[in-house]
Amino acid sequence: MTERQRRILHLLVDSYIATQTPVASSILAQQLSLSPATTRYELIELEDAGLVTKPHTSAGRIPTRQGFRHYALSKLPPTPFPQATLDRLAQALSGAGGRREELVVQVASRLSGYPAMLRLKPRHAPKLLQVHLSQLAPGKVLAVGVMEGGRVREVRLELSFSPSDAQLNEAEGRLHGPLEALSPQEAPSLALRELFEAVRRAFAQGSLEEYREGVGLLLSEPEAQNLSFLRQALSLFESPGDETLTPPGGLNVRVGEGEGLSLVQAGVAMSDTIGELSLLGPVRMRYGQALSVAYALGQVYMGQQASQASR
């Protein structure tokens, strides 16, 4: 891509983010001081590269998913927050006590204008010291587990079969140790394999902490008039889907997830936990702003705001 094509693409994306309407070549030509013929030629080149498209023959052009992704990645590294702002954020978090995580998502949502999610999990999978299984009803089992550190958790399992007392007893004897090491493949039968996997998943999910804020902001987006978009957005807000977290200190941009949605994600870590701060918006997202907010909040949460501002 030439520098002129990059300028045209980025101006087109900026305009589409602001207006949600196809962008005419005449507008691009005027704002970039280019001839109409040159602008049209470069747009054809960008269209051939899969970065822009024409929704209608007589309409202007809009960015494709690939075009949005190119634009979003060009915003890396993000513009840093002023040091004074970082200091104020750090002071607010330090005084939040047990509400630090709730405050992180509240501030991230307000500063970005998008729903925010924070997922945290232990650096190391918790150990299941002991489990007791009892049948509640056909295909339903109650599992009471004692975790490392003495924490007791109770979960209900749904199975495709009704295990016998002998199968429950055998499972109790085998199910102990780090959850990530509980391999269903070691089960002596398909029935026990299903039971092992159900126990492993149920107790592993309980180790994930989740905080959310700002889902109502989705309703202010023009795309929310599309019920399919709204359903997909709410589903992604409740469960981002990808269990692999962004590495601590890193940034990730997932453009065009599902029905025209994007996620901007910052990896975070504390002494005994790792996690991810995510901002959810339409593919027509303000990527520069979202990346700056996610990165700044992630750094402040980890206590590294001084190094972030100096970059």
- 148 and 214 co-located in one domain: no
pLDDT score at 307: 46
Say if 275 falls within a structural domain: yes
- 117 and 213 co-located in one domain: yes
- Quote the domain boundaries for residue 57: 3-64
- 215 and 118 co-located in one domain: yes
Say if 304 falls within a structural domain: yes
Q: Which of 205, 221, 249 marks a domain boundary? A: 205
- 148 and 272 co-located in one domain: no
Single pTM value for the model? 0.77
Please state, in angstroms and rounded to a whole number, the distance separating the CA atoms of residues 228 and 3: 37
- 296 and 221 co-located in one domain: yes
CATH code, domain with 90: 3.30.450.40
Count CB atoms within 10 A of the CB of residue 298: 28
Instruction: Chunk the chain into consecutive blocks of 10 residues (it has 311) and report each block's average pLDDT, rounded to whole numbers.
Output: 97 96 96 96 97 86 97 96 96 91 97 96 80 94 86 88 92 78 71 87 76 93 91 86 82 89 95 91 96 97 64 49
Please state, in angstroms and rounded to a whole number, the distance separating the CA atoms of residues 280 and 218: 9
pLDDT score at 9: 98
- 140 and 192 co-located in one domain: yes
- 285 and 184 co-located in one domain: no
Q: Which of 205, 238, 259 marks a domain boundary? A: 205
Say if 69 falls within a structural domain: no
Say if 74 falls within a structural domain: no
What values do phi and psi take at 105, rounded to 5? -70, -35
Say if 72 falls within a structural domain: no
- 132 and 115 co-located in one domain: no
Say if 220 falls within a structural domain: yes
Residue 186: is it exposed, middle or buried by C-beta count within 10 angstroms (0-12/13-18/19+)? exposed
* HSE (side-chain half, CA atoms, 13 Å) at 292: 16
Residue 16: is it exposed, middle or buried by C-beta count within 10 angstroms (0-12/13-18/19+)? buried
- 101 and 222 co-located in one domain: yes
* Angle subtended at Cα 275 by Cα 156 and Cα 113, rounded to the nearest 5 degrees: 105
> What is the count of structural domains for the chain?
3
Say if 188 falls within a structural domain: yes
Say if 76 falls within a structural domain: no
CATH code, domain with 55: 1.10.10.10
- 245 and 132 co-located in one domain: no
Cβ atoms of 17 and 9 closer than 8 Å: no
* HSE (side-chain half, CA atoms, 13 Å) at 144: 5
Q: Which of 165, 182, 205 marks a domain boundary? A: 205
Please state, in angstroms and rounded to a whole number, the distance separating the CA atoms of residues 11 and 146: 57
pLDDT score at 238: 85
Decide: helix, strand or coil at residue 94. helix
CATH code, domain with 162: 3.30.390
106 sits in which H/E element:
helix 100-112
CA 175: distance to chain centroid?
32
pLDDT score at 185: 62
Nearest to 112 by CA among 310, 290, 308, 302: 290
